[in-house]
Amino acid sequence: MGDTRWLTYREAARRVRRDVRTVQRWRAAGMPMRWRDGERVVDEEVLLAWWRDRLDAWPAHQYRLRRIVDGLNP
> 2-60 pLDDT, tens per residue?
688 999 999 999 999 999 999 999 999 999 999 999 999 999 999 999 999 888 777 77
Cβ(30)–Cβ(20) below 8 Å: no
Evaluate whether residue 37 is within a structural domain. Answer: yes
For residue 22, the enclosing domain spans: 6-72
Q: How many CB atoms lie within 10 A of CB 24?
A: 16
Chain Cα centroid distance, residue 36: 20
pTM more than 0.85: no
Q: What is the pLDDT of residue 73?
A: 66
Q: Is residue 1 in some structural domain? A: no
User: Which amino acid type is present at position 9?
Assistant: Y
In a domain, residue 44? The reply is yes
